Amino acid sequence: MRALTWHGKHDVRVDTVDDPEILNPRDAIIKITSTAICGSDLHLYDGYIPTMQAGDILGHEFMGEVVETGPKSTLQKGQRVVVPFTIACGSCYHCGKHQYSACDNGNPADNQDIGQEMYGQPMSGLFGYSHLTGGYAGGQAEYVRVPFSDVGPIVVPDGLDDEEVLFLSDILPTGWQAAENASIEPGDTVAVWGCGPVGLFAVQSAFLMGAHRVIAIDHFPHRLELAKKFGAETINFEESKTYEALMEMTGGIGPDAVIDAVGLEAHGFFVDNVVDQIKASLFLGTDRTHSIRQAIHACRKGGRVSMPAVYGGFVDKFPLGAFMEKGLTLKTGQTSVQHYMPALLNAILEGKIDTTFLISHRMGLEDAPKGYEMFHNNQNDVTKIVLKPGLAVAAQ
Amino acid sequence: MTMATDDAPPTTSKLSEERASGIAAVSQSRRDDLIGRSVTINRSRDELFAYWRDFSNLPSFMDNVERIDILSNTTSHWVVKAPGGRTVEWDAAITEEKPGELIAWTSAEDADVPNSGRIEFRDAGDRGTVVTATIAYDPPAGVVGKVIAKLFQREPAIQARRDLRRFKQLMETGEVATAAWTQKQRDEEKA
Ligand SMILES: NC(=O)c1ccc[n+]([C@@H]2O[C@H](COP(=O)([O-])OP(=O)(O)OC[C@H]3O[C@@H](n4cnc5c(N)ncnc54)[C@H](O)[C@@H]3O)[C@@H](O)[C@H]2O)c1
Ligand SMILES: [Zn+2]
Ligand SMILES: [Zn+2]
C-alpha cells in the first residue's frame, strides 16, 4: 500500500510499504477514506517529539471502511467507522474509569519502558505518534491495522458525510475535553489561547457548557475570524497586549478559566519565547511554553487552567509562584476520545456542533508532503487539510 | 548491621543488608542480584494463579523463554534465549505452593543461570490482584555477562518488567499488544 512516512525534520514522503494484516483476535483492518493532518503532526514534522524512527507511518485522525476483522472484533465488513487516536483496551482499571488515554495495555510492553523512565508510568498507545506512545503505524495511508476494534471505533450512521464525523477521531473530543477540564460555571468568561482546530472546538464547547463570554487569542486574522463566527471576542496578540487586554476586558478580574490550545510551538516574539527557542536549538530545554505561562499569569485568582496543548519534556520558568499563590487548578492530558465519541456524534446529528467549517483543503494521499508544507507555512489560510486516498493527484 | 526502618519492600532498599535479607527470603545461597516487580491485574487471584501454575503457558508472555517442558507436577525444563542467538537451559522445581496465593521455585544445581524466586498473588479489591515477582539470580559470567545482557535488552530486571506487562495484557485483554502491522514484523520483533 501507499503511506505517508516520516524520515526526519521537514522530510515526509509517500512510500510503498507492506499492507497491514490481522495480528490479534480483536484487530480490524480499515480502508482509509479520509484522514486529516493535525497540529500535533506538525510537532513531529518540526522534529520536536523524540523517539521517531525513519519510515514511521504518520496519521492519527482517520476513518474508513472495515475490510477485514479478527475473530474477536465486533465490527462487520463494509461498516464505516471513525477511529479514536488513543489505543485503549476497554478492560483495564483506567479504561473502566473512562481514562482511556491512560490505558495500561494499549502500548506494547517493550515500548512502555520509555514512558516509564520519562514520566514514571507509561501512557496508552497512540496511532502514528512516535515510539514513546507505542510506535503504531498511523492512518495517513491506504489501510491501517486497528487493535481493540471491538471497543474503539464508532460506526457512522448512514447519511453522514466523512467530513461531518472525521473530527470525532481527535480534535472535536479534544476541544470538548479542554472545555470540560475548565470546569465552566454559568456566567464565566473563558479565554482560549490558539485558534487552531482544537481552540476553535474549545470555543464552541465552552459556549455549549454555559460560558457567558469566550475570548479567543491568536495572530492569524482568518482563524480569529472563525472564532468570531462562533460568538467569541478576539485578541490578536500582534496588535494588542494580551494580558493587558484580558484584564481590561474582564473589568480587572482576569478570565475565570483559561485554555492553552497552542502547545510547544508557540509563535511570536516574546522575551521568554526567544530564550526558549535558543535553548530548544541547543537541546537545553525542549518545550517552548509562552502560552501556558501567559494563561497562568492572566487567570483570575482561584481560577482554572485547562491545557489540551501537547508538551513532551521539561520546562523552566514555569510560573509556579503565581500558580500557587493564586490557588489555581490545572487539568490536562491526551484526550480520552472513546469517552466522548457517542455523545459528540449525537451533537453532530442534532446540528449542535459544526465541524465542516474547519476544512480548508482536500487532497489526495500522494499530495500529503505538499499538504504538510502548506500547513506548516501558511497557518492563516490552511486551517485543516483532509487527505483522501481515493482522490487523484492534483495537477502540478 | 543496618536494616531499614521503613515499610518499603527489600527489593527497593538502598541498604545492602536489607537487600540480603530479601534474597535470603527466596533463595538458599547468597545471590548477586535481586529483582522485585509488582503489577496490578484486573482479574481474580484464582484465575491468574491457575494460568501461571500451568508452566507451559509461560512462553505466551515471556518473550525470552523459548519453551518449557513439563517434567512432573513440580519440575520443569526451561530453554531461555541468551545474547548472541544462544540459549541457556535449566531444570526448575517448585519448592512451595499455596493455591491462589504463591508459587516458589528454584533451579537445579547445574543450572546455566542459577535462579530462584516466588510469584505472589494478593487481592486488590475492585482493582483485581497484585502480582509480585521476586527473583534472585546469578547473572551469567558475572559482571561482563550482565553488561552484555543489558546491551541485548535481555537484562533480567527489564525482562521481568516486560513479562509482567505482557501477562497483564494477556489476562486483561486476551492478547499481547503489538505495534507491528505484518506477521513478518512481529516475528522479527520476537526473535
Ligand atoms: N490533548 C490532546 O489529546 C491533543 C489532541 C490534539 C491536539 N493537541 C494539541 O493541541 C494543540 C493545538 O492543536 P491544533 O491542531 O489546534 O494546532 P494548530 O497548530 O493548528 O493551532 C495552534 C494555534 O495557536 C496559535 N498560536 C501560536 N502561538 C500563540 C500564542 N503565543 N498565543 C496565542 N496563540 C498562539 C497559532 O497561530 C495557531 O493558530 C497542539 O499542541 C496539539 O498538539 C492535543
Ligand atoms: Zn490530532
Ligand atoms: Zn485499557
DSSP assignment string, chain B: -----SSS-GGG-S-HHHHHHHHHHH-SS--SEEEEEEEEESS-HHHHHHHHHSGGGGGGT-TTEEEEEE-SSSEEEEEEE-GGG-EEEEEEEEEEEETTTEEEEEE-TT-SS-EEEEEEEEE-GGG-EEEEEEEEE--TTHHHHHHHHHHTT--HHHHHHHHHHHHHHHHHHSS-----SSHHHHHHHH-
More confident residue, A338 or B149: A338
The answer to whether the CB of A382 is under 6 A from ligand 1 is no
For ion ligand 3, residues whose CB falls within 5 Å:
A 88-89, 92, 95, 103, 105
pLDDT number for residue B152: 44
pLDDT for residue A292: 92
Q: Which CATH architecture has domain B29-190?
A: 2-Layer Sandwich (3.30)
Task: Tell me if B182 and A19 make a contact (CB, 8 A cut-off).
Answer: yes
Please work out whether the CB of residue A38 comes within 6 Å of at least one atom of ligand 1.
yes
Nearest-CB residue to B183 (from A23, A134, A137): A23
Q: At what angle do helices A112-119 and B156-173 cross, to 10 degrees?
A: 110
* Chain A neighbors of B172, CB-CB under 8 A: 89, 91-92, 104-105
CATH 3.40.50.970 fits A2-170+335-388, yes or no: no
* Contacts for B138 with CB less than 8 Å, ≥ 6 apart: B31, B32, B33, B113, B114, B115
Chain centroid, CA A35 distance in Å: 13
CB of A276 within 6 A of ligand 1: the answer is no
Percentage of residues of chain B with pLDDT beyond 70? 87
| Residue B87 CA to ligand 3 centre (angstroms) | 34
Domain residue spans in chain B?
29-190
Residue contact B186–A23, C-beta within 8 A: yes
Cell numbers at A204, concatenated: 464552541
Please choose, from the candidates A109, A140, A139, A136, the residue with its C-alpha nearest in 3D space to the C-alpha of residue A122.
Answer: A109
Determine the residue type at A241: K
Cα of A87 from ligand 2 centre, angstroms = 13
- Pocket test of ligand 1: the residue of A123, A129, A259, A262 to mutate, having most ligand atoms within 8 Å of its CB, is A262
Give residue A286's pLDDT.
46
| pLDDT value of position A278 | 56
Read off the amino acid at residue A187: G
Dist CA A394 CA A363 (whole Å): 7
In order, the DSSP letters of A96-136 are HTT-GGG-SSSS-TTTHHHHHHHHSS---EEBTSTGGGT-B
Q: Cα of A102 to ligand 3 centre, how many Å?
A: 7
**A175-332 CATH pick, 3.40.50.300, 3.40.50.150, 3.30.40.10, 3.40.50.720:** 3.40.50.720
List chain B residues with CB under 8 Å of A132.
Answer: none
Per-residue confidence of chain A (396 residues) as pLDDT tens digits?
Answer: 999 999 999 999 999 999 999 999 999 999 999 999 998 999 899 988 888 999 999 999 999 999 999 999 999 999 999 999 999 999 999 999 999 999 999 999 999 988 888 889 999 999 999 998 999 999 999 999 999 999 999 999 999 999 999 999 999 999 999 999 999 999 999 999 999 999 999 999 999 999 999 999 999 999 999 999 999 999 999 999 999 999 999 999 999 999 999 977 655 555 555 556 655 554 444 445 589 999 999 999 999 999 999 887 777 778 999 999 999 999 999 999 999 999 999 999 999 999 999 999 999 999 999 999 999 999 999 999 999 998 866 544
Q: A139 to chain B: which residues are within 8 Å by CB?
A: none
Q: Is the CB of A174 under 6 A from ligand 1?
A: yes
Nearest to A134 among B128, B179, B182 (CB): B179
Average pLDDT over residues B30-55: 89
pLDDT at A396: 40
What pTM was estimated for this model as a whole?
Answer: 0.91
Average pLDDT (B168-183) is 97
Query: Which burial class, exposed, middle or buried, applies to A227 when counting CB atoms under 10 A from its CB (0-12, 13-18, 19+)?
Result: buried
Scanning the structure block, which residue is given the C-alpha cell 534472585?
B136
Is the pLDDT confidence value at B89 over 80? yes
Given CA atoms A108, A113, A117, A120 in this order, what sign does their dihedral have? positive
List chain A domain ranges.
Answer: 2-170+335-388, 175-332
pLDDT at res. B151: 46
In this structure, are residues A204 and A261 in contact, taking their beta carbons and an 8 Å threshold?
A: no
